Structure 1
């Protein structure tokens, strides 16, 4: 456990050149008095709390006799005395149920105990709110309530999360602790999220539903986007507003890629035009206050109608996505989902005459270099530290959630394809949950096939 993990902020800021607050006993006495009583309300137990308790039990069973320390993390510096919006570490949020309102610098500790019913006792340490008789209340711009608003008490957080709480100052690390920097604990907390419980599945469906609303609003804003030289920023802004209204924020930087920008897999500059006749690829997801996120991609014709070549490419990608989804069921290998999609991509690009005559080399990957699927949850690429035999080579289980997102990307300067294909990029991405006998598409209500997409655009863009 590092010293920084006990801090609420990544760096200590020197405000000596900015502060004009009086510093005298008379002023301090005056500012600490004459405040109305503020009764403390006891919150109800959070819906996530019993699920988080079960997760702690499951984790503790893997580390009997070990003291486990899971830090939320400090606020990260953006520039000088400004910080990025705070988001706790996913493992911390998963094990506490504390989402977007979690306190920077908090630490969850699982202390080993000798008991017939439990292996560990949980304590949540965080820096409690300061009373108005403390100069921190008005003089500390990083944590003072005058600056950042009301903060919870130890009792309130304990009631909401169903876990013992204590002041952060009481936390003491030792050299024998297992922390998230330790490979085995990082791996275990990652693998613990591979199968989602009912609370998690409900949150992920809510995230998808909010994302669907955001996509509708993007289409309604297309005329405005097309009229602006940086129309991709209009698309990004419209979606990000929805994410802040319905959730915590976006789950990752929104990709609003129009025209040839759609061929850049992680295009987040979003500074180009949105032109009639082009395709617009939007890869976006709302993160809920619980920190669960959606991850959806739709590729739409800005004008409302695909050209012949655009539709040919789009239909090939859709066929690949459907082929991958068709095999999803408990017991298959996770990597088989990717291979099912790639079989379609290979066949289509060969039919179009794009590939050299060599069946032993995957030349088609020139046009789709990324994987078809990744687990999804609190992280957009969730469970990333899980062992390969639990992830890529693992068997699917009911409750697993992952994306299916094949694509075809023909770079504007790619001489291996006819000129009419160059600059076309298409990706279709849905969020899938494995069921007892197959799978459900959480995002099935967002139009997917070409005819439905055209009707969707034409209806909403006006």
Structure 2
């Protein structure tokens, strides 16, 4: 047994080299003066024109103006995010924080460790984008730095290039600390931070605040996050266009999945075959998947967030596919279809599917009232309409201990055993967009043109649920569409994918030849 004193000694390296730096011990990078002179020489000098302004730049500028009105006179810090280690010295794929993406428009091109700061200026703010630009080929960073070096991670943009693309003033990340500290203090400029996005930036802001005497900041940070979430509730024309593109790519991915069913049916982990077919489309047509794909066959469909995707795909079963492509602007789709593996619904499967479809159609009908003579429809009303249908069907099947009306009462809710999730959530840069918004701005809010959200009722009848009729056990169905509120009602952005049982059967037959 090792004594406590032995453990203490073993935790302190005898050679004085910190443990976190030990990874460099395997490296045999050259460091001679001759090498450094040689590698810095002989490169073609290119002077490419500055990039065009991004199509997202106007939307980002409007978002910055909106948050500036919400929190005037304060310094707002929005980190883009840092790299997170996956295994030793490899990192998870980087994806910018959504608030940063919204206010910069930089999208998938965002460099890790970048930070947007809105500095108070007059009645508004000036946005400055801090980043580490590419280093010259005569620097050690060029060949020796595995995080930033051009030979390791490719050509990084210059400050001038990022400024031209985003329309923001840019500055070297090394100047961030001094700029944050300027005028910071009690009775002067307050500093608010989007927390959880970048550990180093959080530590830096905490240090600046402590030195300035700012100690009670959690509430201020939470309010910033809240407001940044709420200004995304209504999308502009460009944002809707990006979601349309994401939905179109997602539809192509669903087609690829149907074509993959024959191979998936013969594979011991057929759900992985399905997942891979969609993932390939997401990477070919977009930035990747907007969230972890749910490819749930048979009884797995009754696990709401089934992402293991390691089960078989058997003929005669249904497969619930919940997936979305994220495009390069980082806007995502979120669509679910429940498909018969062999292309034809059984009678019990069709019965459950039709109940869910009726619930979805009822939710659509309520949302569509927005365009009817000034009708006021709240976000929560969409869910209520779906639940009325779900409760009615479950009562018809003899699964409720009371009638449907009593189950719908607040102190009843028996029907929710088979659908515990909500019917809708906002959609955009995050699959569950605007999630930090206040209740009165989200659940209790009226639907207005420009909102984009899902309609996704389901029924989940587990194989081990003795309250479910025998012939229905093991069937899980969800139907999810992406919906845009317009001046005249709503538009189903994912309508290109069939929804009715007969249309699905015909679509699958056509795809599989």
For residue 109 of structure 2, give the secondary structure of its aligned residue in structure 1. coil
Match of 1:325 in 2: 364
TM-score in terms of structure 2 length: 0.86
For residue 320 of structure 2, give the secondary structure of its aligned residue in structure 1. strand
The match for 1:80 among 67, 88, 92 is 88
Match of 1:194 in 2: 233
For residue 463 of structure 2, give the secondary structure of its aligned residue in structure 1. coil
Match of 1:69 in 2: 77
Match of 2:192 in 1: 178
Name the CA distance, whole Å, in 2 between partners of 1:357 and 1:36.
79
From the two aligned structures, give the one with the greater helix fraction. Answer: 2
8 Å CA contact 1:320–1:344 kept in 2: the answer is: yes
Give aligned pairs, total.
449
Name the CA distance, whole Å, in 1 between partners of 2:55 and 2:489.
28
Name the CA distance, whole Å, in 2 between partners of 1:357 and 1:245.
51
Match of 1:234 in 2: 273
For residue 298 of structure 1, give the secondary structure of its aligned residue in structure 2. strand
1:280 to partner: Cα distance: 0.5
What are the superposed Cα offsets for residues 49-100 of structure 1, whole Å, 9 maximum, x if unpaired?
A: 1111111111101111111111101011111101011001000000000100
The match for 2:174 among 164, 169, 175 is 169
Name the CA distance, whole Å, in 2 between partners of 1:447 and 1:256.
18
Q: Which of the pair has more CA radius of gyration?
A: 2
Q: List aligned pairs for 1:297-446, cutoff 5 A.
A: 297-328=336-367, 329-330=369-370, 331-357=376-402, 359=406, 360=409, 361-446=412-497
What are the superposed Cα offsets for residues 416-462 of structure 1, whole Å, 9 maximum, x if unpaired?
A: 01111111000000000101121000000101001001111122123
Match of 1:7 in 2: none
Match of 2:120 in 1: 112
Match of 1:141 in 2: 146
1:32 to partner: Cα distance: 1.1
Please tell me the root mean square deviation across aligned C-alpha atoms, in Å.
1.3
* Unmatched tracts of structure 2, length 5 or more: 1-18, 185-189, 196-220, 371-375
Is 1:132 aligned to residue 137 of structure 2? Answer: yes
Is 1:461 aligned to residue 512 of structure 2? Answer: yes
1:13 to partner: Cα distance: 5.9
Larger deviation: 308-317 or 14-23?
Answer: 14-23
Name the CA distance, whole Å, in 2 between partners of 1:196 and 1:150.
33
Larger deviation: 434-443 or 12-21?
Answer: 12-21
* Unmatched tracts of structure 1, length 5 or more: 1-10
Is 1:56 aligned to residue 107 of structure 2? Answer: no
Is 1:267 aligned to residue 268 of structure 2? Answer: no
Higher relative contact order (CA 8 A, sep 6+): 1
Name the CA distance, whole Å, in 1 between partners of 2:75 and 2:104.
16
Structure 1 segments of 4 or more deviating over 6 A?
A: none
Name the CA distance, whole Å, in 2 between partners of 1:152 and 1:437.
44
8 Å CA contact 1:244–1:250 kept in 2: the answer is: yes
Name the CA distance, whole Å, in 1 between partners of 2:62 and 2:486.
21
Match of 2:289 in 1: 250
Name the CA distance, whole Å, in 2 between partners of 1:16 and 1:142.
13
Is 1:158 aligned to residue 209 of structure 2? Answer: no
1:40 to partner: Cα distance: 3.1
The match for 2:25 among 5, 9, 17 is 17
